[in-house]
Structure 1
Amino acid sequence: GEKGIHATGPALGMSVQRADIGLDGATFPAEVYRVSQGQPGVWRFQVSAPADVKAGMDGYLLVSSDSPYRLYAHLANYDLRVGERIGLVAYLYDQRESREKPLAQGIQSAVAKVQFPDGRERSLLMFDDGRHADGAAGDGVFGMLFTARQAGEYTAQVRVRGVTPKGETLLRTSEHFFPVLDVQARLGKGAVATTLDSNRWQVTLPVEGLTPGSRVMAFAEMWGLDSSGKPAPAGWFGGLTQVGKDGIPLGFDVRWLAYSGVHAPFEVRNVRLQDADTAIPLAAQTRMELKAPAVDVKRMPAVSTITDEMRMGPRPQRMQTQAAGGKLMLVHGYCAGSNPWPTSDFSSYAVFQDYHQNRTHDQFAQLIRNYGAQFPSFGIVAHSQGGAAALHLYTYYWSGLDYSSGSRLIQSVGTPYQGTALAGNLALLGQIFGVGCGSNWDLTYDGAALWLSGIPSWARSRVHYWTTSDKDVWWRWDYCNMATDPILDDPEDGVVEKWAAQLSGATNHGHKTGWCHTSGMRDPAQTSDHSRNAEMNAYGNR
Structure 2
Amino acid sequence: MKSLLALCLLILSASLLVSSSPHLGKFGWKLHFKSNQGAPEEFKAHILPKPSDSAVDSDASAIKVNLEKSNGLFAFEETFLVDAGHIEHATFRLNFLTRIPVEKLNILIKQPSDSEFKKVEQVPIKSWFGMSTLSKIPSFTFEWEKPQNGQWALRIESETEPEKIPRVDIEGAHHPDIVLLLENDSPFKVMSHVQSYTFKQGQPVGLVARLYDERKYIQTLRTLKGLNDEASYDEVFAVTEAGESLPLPEAMIPSDGANGFDFEMDIVFPDGQEKKVKMVDEALARGENSPSGVYTATVKADQPGKYFAEVQLAATGPSREQLTRTTQHMFTVVSEEEDLSVVDGAFGEFDPEDKMVTIHIPLEAKVVTNIVGERLKAYAEVWGGNTPVAFASGMTVVSQQSDKFPGQDSVVLVSLKVHANWITRANIDSQNAEFTLRNVYVQDLSTSVPLASADKIRLNIHKNQRALLQIHSASNAFNGEITEEMKKGPRPVRYSKSQRQLFAGSNNGHKIVLSHGYCAAGIPFSTAKFENFAEFDDPNQNRNNDEFAQLLGAFGEQYDSFSLVAHSQGGIASLHLLAFYWSALDLNEEHGDNHRWIQAMGTPFQGTTLAGWGDTGKIIGVGCGSNDNLTPEGAKLWLTGIPMEARQHVYYYYTEYKPWSWCSLPANAVLSWPNDGTSESKRVPLAGGNKVLMKKGFCHTTDMKYPPQCKDEVNNEFMNKKAARK
Give CA deviations for 1:5-26 in whole Å, capped at 9, x if unaligned.
9647789774313321100243
Structure 1 residue 324: Cα displacement = 2.9
Structure 1 residue 531: Cα displacement = 1.5
Match of 1:317, as an amino acid?
V
Matches within 5 A, 1:217-296: 217-225=377-385, 231-246=386-401, 247-263=413-429, 264-292=433-461, 293-294=465-466, 295-296=469-470
Contact 1:490/1:497 (<8 A) preserved: yes
Aligned position for 1:401:
585
Which of these residues, 591, 598, 607, is aligned with residue 410 of structure 1?
A: 598
Q: Which structure's CA Rg is the greater one?
A: 2
Distance change in 2, residues 1:111/1:433 (3 Å) = closer
Contact 2:190/2:326 (<8 A) preserved: yes
Aligned to 1:283, the other structure's residue is in SS state strand
Structure 1 residue 134: Cα displacement = 13
Matches within 5 A, 1:339-354: 339-354=523-538
Contact 2:568/2:603 (<8 A) preserved: yes
Give the 4+ runs in structure 1 shifted more than 6 A.
2-6, 8-13, 131-137
Give CA deviations for 1:358-405 in whole Å, capped at 9, x if unaligned.
011111111101111111111111111111111111111111111113
> What are structure 2's unaligned runs of at least 5 residues?
1-78, 82-93, 95-105, 110-117, 165-173, 219-246, 255-259, 402-412, 496-502
Aligned position for 1:100:
248
Report the more deviating stretch, 159-168 or 266-275: 159-168
Q: Percent identity?
A: 34
Contact 1:12/1:35 (<8 A) preserved: no
Structure 1 residue 47: Cα displacement = 2.9
Give CA deviations for 1:290-337 in whole Å, capped at 9, x if unaligned.
222212245542241222221111111236584332111111110001
Aligned position for 1:83:
202
Query: In 1, Cα distance between the equivalents of 2:643 and 2:284?
Result: 35
Aligned position for 1:193:
348
Structure 1 residue 93: Cα displacement = 2.7
Aligned position for 1:501:
684
Match of 2:707, as an amino acid?
P
Distance change in 2, residues 1:484/1:254 (3 Å) = same
Contact 2:392/2:418 (<8 A) preserved: yes
Which of these residues, 517, 538, 541, is aligned with residue 721 of structure 2?
A: 538
> Does 2:283 correspond to 1:130?
yes
Larger RCO (CA under 8 A, 6+ residues apart): 2
Aligned to 1:46, the other structure's residue is in SS state strand
Distance change in 2, residues 1:150/1:391 (3 Å) = same
Match of 1:381, as an amino acid?
V
Which of these residues, 625, 629, 640, is aligned with residue 442 of structure 1?
A: 629
Contact 2:354/2:490 (<8 A) preserved: no
> What are structure 1's unaligned runs of at least 5 residues?
226-230
Aligned position for 1:355:
539
Give CA deviations for 1:419-474 in whole Å, capped at 9, x if unaligned.
11111112566x6667410001111111111111111222211111112111125x
Aligned position for 1:202:
358
Structure 1 residue 281: Cα displacement = 0.5
Q: Structure 2 length normalisation: TM-score?
A: 0.69
Structure 1 residue 340: Cα displacement = 0.4
Match of 1:491, as an amino acid?
P
Contact 1:89/1:133 (<8 A) preserved: no
Match of 1:466, as an amino acid?
Y
Query: In 1, Cα distance between the equivalents of 2:345 and 2:663?
Result: 55
Query: In 1, Cα distance between the equivalents of 2:155 and 2:122?
Result: 14
Contact 1:233/1:262 (<8 A) preserved: no
Which of these residues, 372, 377, 383, is aligned with residue 212 of structure 1?
A: 372
The count of aligned residue pairs is 532
Query: In 2, Cα distance between the equivalents of 1:133 and 1:365?
Result: 46
Aligned to 1:288, the other structure's residue is in SS state strand
Distance change in 2, residues 1:22/1:198 (3 Å) = closer
Structure 1 residue 136: Cα displacement = 11
Structure 1 residue 164: Cα displacement = 2.8
Match of 2:510, as an amino acid?
G
Query: In 1, Cα distance between the equivalents of 2:620 and 2:606?
Result: 27
Give CA deviations for 1:195-226 in whole Å, capped at 9, x if unaligned.
2335111111112315221010000011103x
> What is the RMSD of the two structures over their aligned residues, measured on CA atoms?
2.6
Matches within 5 A, 1:284-433: 284-292=453-461, 293-294=465-466, 295-296=469-470, 297-318=473-494, 322-404=506-588, 405-406=590-591, 407-427=595-615
Structure 1 residue 536: Cα displacement = 0.9
Query: In 2, Cα distance between the equivalents of 1:310 and 1:464?
Result: 24
Contact 1:378/1:401 (<8 A) preserved: yes
Structure 1 residue 517: Cα displacement = 0.5
Structure 1 residue 485: Cα displacement = 1.1
Aligned position for 1:228:
none
Q: Structure 1 length normalisation: TM-score?
A: 0.92
Aligned to 1:393, the other structure's residue is in SS state helix
